[in-house]
Amino acid sequence: MMRALYSGVAGLKSHQTQMDVIGNNIANVNTYGFKSSRVTFRDVYYQTLSGASGSGTTLGGTNPSQIGYGAQISSVDVINSRSGMARTGLGSDCYISGEGYFVVEDGTNYLYTRVGAFNFDSDGYLVDGNGRKVCGAKGTNTVSTTAPEAIQIDAALNGKLNNITYGSDGVITGEDDKGTIHTIGTIGLANVPNPQGLNQEGNSYFKAVSNTGTVAYGAPSSGTVGSLVTSALETSNVDLANEFAQMITTQRGFQANSRIITVGDEMLETLINMKR
């Protein structure tokens, strides 16, 4: 079997995967908090036809002769660059101006997200658009590696607070019917040492895994996390111009690899017809 056929098939699979990633990026161009991905290739193993040799008294040295077997996917990396801010007009929406992630939980698992579309449920818990409870910070200047707890309005005040506001420091306050201001809690942010190591879980969530590092929790503007901007959400960081350019080069790469298979087949056919 011709090596070129193996190289062509390997190239087709690699470019197909790259097109899958590009398609997902473009599909999420308007998804709040979405982080695009990129694909890198690497060459496959080589067959050595002749090894290298050092120079001697009569002959000089020779270089190795090797033939490769195409390309394969090296990595699919998430691009964690910050994107723009979209004003929404909803006071309960929060945008992180800087590093950090919001922390949400479902009673068992903690997940991280850059999407701060929040509201209070009937039990007084601050929840995101998927119903997961939003976790708060233990103090405005405290940084801890202990996972925070969900934010909830005290039972006596639940349903009786008006004009609930969110500060840039994450502090949530509300006003009762007598005009008294009450502090409900402080939104917590997570500082992730290696954001590239987060696992994508869908629904704009990320999960800490073995290569993420030790996550620290604190209030906005504490440690290395950013502050909050209310009535705004983070937009997708997909660059459409770049994605369209990548789409063209990927399509051309796929076509070229398919041509390798076609030409290889024609060469084998010529070889078979020689016997006839």
3-state secondary structure (DSSP) of residue 154: coil
Report the amino acid identity of residue 82: R
Is it the case that residue 276 has pLDDT exceeding 80?
no
Worst-scoring range by mean pLDDT, 2-6, 65-69, 86-90, 92-96? Answer: 2-6
The DSSP call for residue 46 is E
Tokens of 89: 């007009």
What CA–CA distance (Å, rounded) separates 134 from 132?
Answer: 6
Helices (H) and strands (E) in the chain, counts: 2, 20
β-bridge mates for residue 118, sequence order: 128
pLDDT higher than threshold 60 for residue 258: yes
Give the N- to C-terminal CA distance of the chain in Å, as an integer: 20
pLDDT in tens, 127-182: 999 999 999 987 666 667 777 889 999 888 888 898 899 999 999 999 998 889 99
Closest CA to 195 of 182, 184, 211, 176: 211
CA distance 37 to 34: 10
Q: How far apart are CA 244 and CA 255, in angstroms?
A: 17
**Which phi-psi region, left, alpha or beta, contains residue 88 (left: φ > 0; alpha: ψ -120 to 50)?**
alpha
The pLDDT of residue 267 is: 87
For the chain, give the percent of residues with pLDDT over 70. Answer: 97
Each residue's pLDDT tens digit, 181-221: 999 999 999 999 999 999 999 999 999 998 999 999 999 98
- 57-76: average pLDDT: 92
What average pLDDT does this structure show over 81-105? Answer: 93
pTM (2 decimals)? 0.87
Average pLDDT for residues 223-229, to the nearest whole number? 89
Q: How far is CA 79 from CA 23, 76, 200, 232, in A?
A: 15, 10, 12, 22
Which has the minimum average pLDDT: 76-85, 93-102, 154-163, 243-252?
Answer: 154-163
Looking at the chain, which runs of residues are DSSP E strands?
37-43, 46-50, 65-68, 71-78, 85-87, 93-97, 101-105, 110-113, 116-120, 126-128, 133-134, 162-166, 171-175, 181-186, 189-191, 199-202, 205-207, 216-218, 227-230, 232-234
Q: If we measure between CA atoms, which residue out of 86, 118, 33, 93 comes closest to residue 231?
A: 93
Average model confidence (pLDDT) for the chain? Answer: 91
Helix axes 240-275, 3-27, angle to 10 degrees: 160
pLDDT above 60 for 1: no
**Rounded mean pLDDT, 230-238:** 96
Bigger pLDDT: 12 vs 155: 12
Q: What is the mean pLDDT of residues 222-249?
A: 94
